[in-house]
Structure 1
Amino acid sequence: MRILHTSDWHIGRTFHQHSTLEALKEVFDDVVRIVREREIDVVLASGDIYDSSTPSADAVTLFNQILVDLSATGATLVLTSGNHDSPTRLGSLKEFAAASGVHLITAVEQIETPVTLSDAHGEVHFYGLPFLEPSRLRSVWNVEPMRSQHDAVTHAMNLVRADLAVRGGRSVVLAHTFVNGAEGETCESERDIVSTFEVGGVDKVPVDAFDGITYAALGHIHGRSRLAEHVRYSGAPLHYSFSEADKPRGGWLVELDADGLGDVEWVDVVVPRRLRRITGTIDELLTDTAHEALVDHWVAAVLTDQVRPMDAMRRLQERFPHCAHIEFKPAVVHTDTDDGYAQLVRGRSDDEVVDAFLTKVRNGVGATEAERELVRGAVESHQSKQVHA
């Protein structure tokens, strides 16, 4: 049996306020091609199908089209809900979808009832662990302790293993959680990592929670990761932050044979628009011929000018139409005193006050003669009005 492990589709997410729907459609057109060419039997998506519990109409339309296109290949689909999804909304048509070979596992009550498929070597049981919130599960499972993801996933996996012991055969678990060992794969776009999971390792799920399972298809981390031969994250199918620029995009092609886990191979998918960080003064970035190849990339510009350039985004977008982010990190940082404004102006002339103020707020660059003249004119105008008042 050939399985394509994906996760974290985040349909409806924006990239620096730009829609990603068209890019995601291009990615899944490529996924459909891969499923056909590689003769994939089952496509998995381990949570965070949508980016929001209340997805837009356009996001729902794209999701439905992805399901139709993947189902047309003849592959079976198994999807679980993540912390971004509304389990109720995502699973509202699960009975209807199952009749078309699309299995949506969004409720705790479904954990012990696998989707069972067969190949030439027998049955394979697919268990889904939707994102588990311990506070909501205490009254459901009546198990102590039930304070963390560690507790919730451990108990859920005990239920899975107990059911599997009766059924026998090979098994695949989809789980949307943070497993110990994936720390190096986190990135900016996983905006709920810190709030969802405690810092310091207290609420990370151990890898051995998935012992006794043929393959664990994890979701929640946006970069691919191998925690054990049979425990892996696939990462997201699209880049959702510049911190992910160098992370490959695709999924794990998992082959199950008569003995259990056979080959596991990484399969790349198309990247609709590459991401690149560029660094320099604004004049360097606008004129350096080395950046010619980046005009079609998403660009994050780090500006090293001593003084923040005026109208920087508009100017950069004239050369890089997809410049989406600017950081200001001057190469030379003025060492300022802690003097307050009262001390800066005490006993100084108007010109000296202007110089002191601009030096403080412009990273060590004082006033030009033209700026002094401008201030003098403003002061004289004000004084003239005061005299005639």
Structure 2
Amino acid sequence: MRILHTSDWHIGRTFHGHSTLEALRGVLDELIGQVREHEVDVVIVAGDVFDSATPAASCYTLLSDTLRGIADTGARVVVTSGNHDSAARLGFQAGLLRDGIHVLTDPDAVGAPLTIDDAHGPVHFYGIPYLEPALLRHKWEGVRTQAAVLGRAMDLVRSDLAARGGRSVAIAHCFAAGVEPTPHLERDIQQGGLDVVPLATFAGVDYTALGHIHGRQTLAEGVRYAGAPLHYSFGEGAKPRGSWLVDLDADGLAEVQWLDLPVPRRLVTLRGPFADILADEALAVNEDAWVCVEYTDALPEADPLRRLQQRFPFCAKVVHAPAAVRSGERRSYVERVRAARSDRELVEAFLSHVRDGQGATEREGEILDDLLDERVRQEAMA
């Protein structure tokens, strides 16, 4: 059986105020062509299909067009929900889709596989949607972290697989140990004190298709992240875009290879004095790229973005980054807030600011975690 592992489409995400919808449509059309060219049997989309829990109508149109395009090649499609998706809204669409397209968003069905047969027998696909510990405590006692909730889910998978036998694929959306997060993009996974998931959690299946990290990662031969099909931040600019092509034979995992996807517009970061960046003829090759400028002048420039866009029409971000910084200077409150990657860290930044460096006590931290979990639960039920 041949499987294409993709994830993190983030349909509807903007890039510094610019829509990415048409660029993503072009990339996903290329992905459909790869499915046809390589005679793929099953396409996996491992979560974060949408960028928002309430996507616009145009986002649903792109998703439907892409899923139909994949199904038209003869491949089956297995989609799970991620932390950016609304599992309820994504799951509602499942009943409206054609045969061969499977949307798995129900936590109660984690241990029940979708089984697809090939010449060597059954392959069991266990779709694990993004699991919020705060919403599962009443069902799974003692789960307070992502590590605990994914561990419980994989226990259900292994128990079911032991009874069924055969080959297996797990699909999950989480922050697994051994990978570096992409700054400012995966902050939700740590909201309310959620932690990383150990690699050993995914033992016992032939292949684990992970989503959430936006760059490709190989944690083990059979445990991988495919990353996002588009670059969604300048920090991702050097990372390739694509999917994993996974072959299973009669004994399990046989081969995995990478398939590149096209990059609609390059991302570059230019650093140096403001005047040099505007005047340097060698930088002309970047005039059709998405550009981030970090100018190193001691003083900030007036209206820098407009001036830079006169030369670089796709300049999307400007950062004043002076070359010299006073030694021993403490981070300002604004810098601490900008560096925060979760709501808990935002509160810690505030407490440290008003308490002259003293953050939350152990007891205060427990109360904060409970309050943040309660807010997540209320938002999910709204």
In the other structure, the counterpart of 2:143 is 146
The alpha-carbon deviation at position 69 of structure 1 amounts to: 1.2
| One-letter code aligned to 1:134 | P
Asked whether the equivalents of residues 185 and 225 of structure 1 are also in contact (C-alpha less than 8 Å), the reply is no
In the other structure, the counterpart of 2:355 is none
Matched, 1:307 2:299: yes
Identity of aligned residues (%): 53
Write the distance in 2 (CA, Å) between the matches of 1:268 and 1:220: 19
Q: CA 1:322 to 1:265, structure 2 compared with 1: closer, same or farther past 3 Å? A: same
Q: How many residues align?
A: 330
In the other structure, the counterpart of 2:224 is 232
Write the distance in 2 (CA, Å) between the matches of 1:335 and 1:76: 58
Map 1:190-269; keep pairs closer than 5 Å.
Answer: 190-195=186-191, 198=194, 203-269=195-261
Give the 4+ runs in structure 1 shifted more than 4 A.
Answer: 332-337
Asked whether the equivalents of residues 172 and 208 of structure 2 are also in contact (C-alpha less than 8 Å), the reply is yes
Map 1:251-330; keep pairs closer than 5 Å.
Answer: 251-330=243-322
Write the distance in 1 (CA, Å) between the matches of 2:263 and 2:305: 24
The alpha-carbon deviation at position 140 of structure 1 amounts to: 2.3
In the other structure, the counterpart of 2:128 is 129
Write the distance in 1 (CA, Å) between the matches of 2:259 and 2:3: 12
In the other structure, the counterpart of 1:61 is 61
Q: Secondary structure at the match of 2:247?
A: strand
Write the distance in 2 (CA, Å) between the matches of 1:125 and 1:332: 57
| One-letter code aligned to 2:87 | P
| One-letter code aligned to 1:188 | H
Q: 1:188 aligns with which of 169, 173, 184?
A: 184
Higher-Rg member (1/2)? 1
TM-score if structure 1 supplies the norm length?
A: 0.81
What's the Cα RMSD here?
A: 1.9
Asked whether the equivalents of residues 174 and 218 of structure 1 are also in contact (C-alpha less than 8 Å), the reply is yes
Q: Secondary structure at the match of 2:293?
A: strand
| One-letter code aligned to 1:66 | T
TM-score if structure 2 supplies the norm length?
A: 0.83
Write the distance in 2 (CA, Å) between the matches of 1:172 and 1:128: 8
In the alignment, structure 2 segments of 5+ residues that lack a partner are 330-382
Asked whether the equivalents of residues 182 and 235 of structure 2 are also in contact (C-alpha less than 8 Å), the reply is no
Q: Secondary structure at the match of 1:31?
A: helix
The alpha-carbon deviation at position 316 of structure 1 amounts to: 0.6
Asked whether the equivalents of residues 127 and 174 of structure 1 are also in contact (C-alpha less than 8 Å), the reply is yes
Asked whether the equivalents of residues 185 and 224 of structure 1 are also in contact (C-alpha less than 8 Å), the reply is no
| One-letter code aligned to 1:50 | F
Q: 1:169 aligns with which of 163, 166, 182?
A: 166
Asked whether the equivalents of residues 294 and 320 of structure 1 are also in contact (C-alpha less than 8 Å), the reply is yes
Q: Deviations over 1:314-348 (max 9, x none)?
A: 111011100000001123457999xxxxxxxxxxx
The alpha-carbon deviation at position 58 of structure 1 amounts to: 1.3
Q: Deviations over 1:141-160 (max 9, x none)?
A: 3x3x2111111111111111
In the other structure, the counterpart of 1:25 is 25
Q: Secondary structure at the match of 2:151?
A: helix
Asked whether the equivalents of residues 291 and 312 of structure 2 are also in contact (C-alpha less than 8 Å), the reply is yes
The alpha-carbon deviation at position 197 of structure 1 amounts to: 5.2
In the alignment, structure 1 segments of 5+ residues that lack a partner are 338-389
Write the distance in 2 (CA, Å) between the matches of 1:196 and 1:24: 31
Asked whether the equivalents of residues 83 and 189 of structure 2 are also in contact (C-alpha less than 8 Å), the reply is no
Asked whether the equivalents of residues 11 and 49 of structure 2 are also in contact (C-alpha less than 8 Å), the reply is yes
The alpha-carbon deviation at position 303 of structure 1 amounts to: 0.9
Q: Secondary structure at the match of 1:296?
A: coil
Q: Secondary structure at the match of 1:92?
A: helix
Q: Secondary structure at the match of 1:91?
A: helix
| One-letter code aligned to 1:69 | G
Asked whether the equivalents of residues 178 and 197 of structure 1 are also in contact (C-alpha less than 8 Å), the reply is no
Q: CA 1:196 to 1:19, structure 2 compared with 1: closer, same or farther past 3 Å? A: farther
Asked whether the equivalents of residues 197 and 204 of structure 1 are also in contact (C-alpha less than 8 Å), the reply is no
Asked whether the equivalents of residues 237 and 249 of structure 1 are also in contact (C-alpha less than 8 Å), the reply is yes
